[in-house]
Chain A
Amino acid sequence: MKVDQKLIEKYHLNQCTPEERILVEEWLVDDNLDFSPLSLPQFDKSHIQSQIWENIAANIIEPAPIKVDNNRKRLIRYISIAASIVILFGLFIYKYNIDKEISYAIFDNSTSANSKYFEKNSYELILGKHATAKINVETGEFFSMGTMVIIPKKDFEFSFIGTREKKELKNGETYFILNSKNTGKQIILSQSELTFLAPTIQNQLKLQFNII
């Protein structure tokens, strides 16, 4: 007996004989069996298709249509622009503060009997014992108390107490800045010029700044 449409209908209506049932069930599980497609007239096929679709369509929940909210979009755009500006401005202020920090600096070693070393972007500074300094690389103001050594990392011009002209300090050179307690004047000497000081004073400077 062949498994055909009629037999399958009977199976579903539970009208099969036991032999017929076994046959169908075997047919169902058997993957190897040749199965000639059930022939259906074309008209029937498309009719069945539309019937099936109608049944499904009745049960489909239509999704809500997507609302295009122009106002919301505009608002978000404006907020993001504003935020970018605020962030950029903030960065700018931060950088300016840092730069400002670099161009004007105060150094305090007033409580220590030892030398203290500082490194900035544009110079190195060694304060001697109990020394302080206020340096503004933009205006050229150089206020100092005590003895110190400065090694510029670029060419500078500074104005010192006691001399009218600005003094040029060169990149890479070592300069000693002394404060005369007697006259209140600042004295600036390059490392080479130290040799002109009295030996006793030279020796004290060499001791304090560890120059052999």
Chain B
Amino acid sequence: MKGLAPLFLGIFGTFAFSWLGLTVIPNWQIGHLNPQSDEEGSDVYPMPQSGMVTRGARVYAANGCNYCHSEQVRAEYSGADIERKWGDRRSAPRDYIFERPVLLGKMRMGQDLANIGARAPKEEESPSPTGGASPAPQGAAASPGSVASAKAASPPPGTSPSPATGPAKSPGAVASKPPTSPGLASPPPSKSPATAAAAAGPPWPEQTAGLPPMYSAAWHHVHLYSPRSINLDSNMPSYRFLYETRRISDARSSDALQLTGSDASPEGWEIVPTYDAKCLVAYMMALNQSHPLKEVRSAGAPAAASPAASPSPAPGGQPAK
């Protein structure tokens, strides 16, 4: 080849073509999406995220969770994601407009987490901004009825926490929820005035021997701290460095982990999540694409009309990871 000019032009031209085609044009096409809302302008989805959730996303990325967990649900025709109850519709670009970083993931050594927040027991759907981990508001918010039903739905201690746990179908708790998108860490914990009373005891008084309800914030903490205490076959590393063991000063902290067996802290000590761990769990609790999108057909179309009524059912027969 003679002459530099054609070489230079070709080198620039080919790359400019790719750059325009695969980044600039898509940016023009889907780079400026707005949240959707209904005719009255309410029921907005998605919503911007709270500071804790954003920080949690960074903790998630920094510790490489995205190398084993994806956050995208594929359509029915291209995979078993929906049959696996990882979501009831495929993910769409609009689901991610407030995510930063976007951690779609490329590997599934663990489950897809796109809807992990939607799988939480009902009374926990909205992590309070003071920490998805903080059980006090939840305890306070839960009506006696819902506590009772959560008890009924929780697995008997000692059994594998697989299917039964699903969303505690507590009508009381569901009804008390506004039909906004769950999982958006929303305004201050207005429901926590009653905390004082509830904070005294652990949020799951009925579960002292067992595990917290599956996919609840407390469950996530136990799972992060000791994955194999929940599922013997789990391949997930434990993230003990996100927790601290400290001496109990006067009363056991309300967010102390409920560990059993060899993981349990020695007498007079407790294991509590660090702020990063709380953010991480808040982030996971906020991962929720169960709100219907106009451009995507949901699997359970009629039921999906109201987000509150479109829970991702318990992963049937699927052990927790």
Q: Indicate whether A and B interact.
A: no
